[in-house]
Amino acid sequence: MLNPELVSALKRLRLGRIAESLPERLVLADKQDVAFDELLLMLLTDEITRRDNTAADNRAHEAGLDPTMRLEQWDKTSKVSFDKRMLSELVSLRFLEAHRHVCILGPVGVGKTFVASALGHVACRHGYNVRFARADATLRRLRQSRFDNSRDAEMIALTSVDLLIIDDFALEPMTKEESKDVYQLFLERTGRASMIVTSNRDTAEWLAMFDDVLLAQSAVDRFPERRLRLRHGGRVLSTQAQADARRCEPAACVTRHEDPRTPPRPRPVPLTLAPSPCETTSTRACSRRGWTSNKRRGTLGEVVPLASLAPCPCKGLAP
């Protein structure tokens, strides 16, 4: 039983929560013969940890984060594929220190909102101010703020937080005013503070959701780096660099088999013809020179024998 005067003194110093762990620490100190200064350090460390956790919970509550969406509560048995190295990189919050943006992409039900909220909780524990909002609700508030002249205040609130999380972006087409709002929001935060945007659509599909193509392209260009993709099983392409590498692979190396019992269909090779000299000389001149094609070796300027040529298209005459 603690001395009531001790409890009263702790409360006056705003250390009343120490009284909750003090009996346990006193028993531990007696068993392990802990020195007084070490005991005092343990008590103060407990209080610091408690205050840090309380502050993090308050920041998460103010941010609108779901308290159940934390990394510790992630269902490891779920059949969702993602790049674990990329997720570890995001949890380190280096993107937040460098003021980079992050896209979390994937179909419905893979946990995009969960991962975004979990990263928000991690940021709150590290002392960052976070704000979580759905895209449609954010656009609705900005639209309504024009009627009461509070748009500037609303935009400042969106651009001043350390981390802004926008959930379910680009679900439906945006109006002209909404496109301008999104463009200004992305522009104001780029290079100054970080954003996490979740979407069912790839960033290339965002262009069609904007009312203005130029604003759309400029807004999408603000997301060049971190992209985490979540999928139901299968190999996951998680970074834009990997996506670019796959798009740059030679097309001849990619073969699709519709049926394993049938051979692959040959890829059509475009035929590039040089301007026919028939317009300035004669049909005979065309027959002497032949046509220029890249059909055989893929090399421009190759002269193909006349026997392998189709009828000359010039003026509907045969060579």
Total residue length of the chain: 319
**pLDDT tens digit at each of 319 positions of the chain:** 678 888 888 888 888 888 888 888 888 888 888 888 888 898 999 999 999 999 999 999 999 999 999 999 988 888 888 888 999 999 999 999 999 999 999 999 899 999 999 999 999 999 999 999 999 999 999 999 999 999 999 999 999 999 999 999 999 999 999 999 999 999 999 989 999 999 999 888 999 999 988 889 888 887 765 677 877 654 333 333 333 433 433 333 333 334 444 445 444 444 444 444 444 443 343 443 444 444 344 444 444 444 444 555 444 444 4
State the pLDDT at residue 225.
Answer: 57
CA 259 and chain centroid, separation: 36
Q: How many CB atoms lie within 10 A of CB 210?
A: 24
Q: pTM for this one?
A: 0.68
Residue bearing tokens 């001790």 = 6
Q: Taking each helix axis from N to C terminus, what angle separates 135-145 and 151-160, rounded to the nearest 10 degrees?
A: 140
Closest CA to 106 of 88, 130, 79: 79
Unique residue bearing structure tokens 């045969």: 318
C-alpha distances (whole Å) from 108 to each of 120, 235, 309, 319 are: 20, 17, 53, 60
The pLDDT of residue 169? 95
State residue 17's pLDDT score: 86
Determine whether domain 71-253 maps to CATH 3.40.50.300: yes
Q: What pLDDT, on a 0 to 100 scale, did the predictor assign at position 285? A: 39
Place of tokens 């997301």: 223
The domains of the chain are located at 4-62, 71-253, 269-304
Q: Is the C-alpha dihedral spanning 45, 46, 48, 49 positive or negative? A: positive
User: Residue 193: which residues within 8 A CB-CB, separation 6 or more?
Assistant: 99, 159, 160, 161, 162, 163, 164
Using alpha carbons, select from 271, 308, 315, 277 the residue that is nearest to residue 293: 271
